[in-house]
Amino acid sequence: MLARSLATLLLLALPAVAAADTLGGIKERGTIRLGVRADAIPFSFTDTLGERGGYTVQLCRAVSADLKKELGLAELKVEYVEVTTEDRFAALNDGRIDILCGATSVTLSRLDEVDFSSATFVTGMGVLYRNDGPTSFAELAGKKIGVRGGTTTEETLKRELDQAGLTVEIVSIDDHEAALEELAEGKIDAYFADRAILIYLLQASGKADVLTVGERLYTIESYALALPLDDRDFRIAVDRALSRIYRSPMLDQIYTASFGDQQPGDILRALYVLGAIPD
- In angstroms, the CA 269 to CA 197 distance is 18
Task: State the sign of the Cα–Cα–Cα–Cα dihedral 226, 87, 103, 157.
Answer: negative
Intrachain domains 19-123+221-275 and 125-213 with the same fold? yes
Quick count: other Cβ atoms within 10 Å of Cβ 223?
24
Q: Map out the domains of the chain as residue ranges.
A: 19-123+221-275, 125-213
Question: What is 19-123+221-275's CATH superfamily?
Answer: Periplasmic binding protein-like II (3.40.190.10)
Q: Which of 170, 145, 175 is nearest to 85 (CA)?
A: 175
Q: Which residues of 38-70 are buried (b: 16+ CB within 10 A; e: fewer)?
A: ebbbbbbbbeeeeebbbbbbbbbbbbbbbbbee
Strands 77-82 and 52-53: unpaired
What's the confidence (pLDDT) of residue 56? Answer: 98
- Closest C-alpha among 235, 223, 239, 250 to residue 276: 239
Strands 115-123 and 99-101: unpaired
Average pLDDT per 10 consecutive residues for the chain, totaling 279 residues: 46 47 96 94 88 96 98 97 93 96 93 96 92 86 91 89 92 88 93 90 87 88 96 98 96 92 85 90
The CATH classification of domain 125-213, taken from the options 3.60.20.10, 3.40.190.10, 3.40.50.1000, 3.90.226.10: 3.40.190.10
Enter the pTM of the model. Answer: 0.80
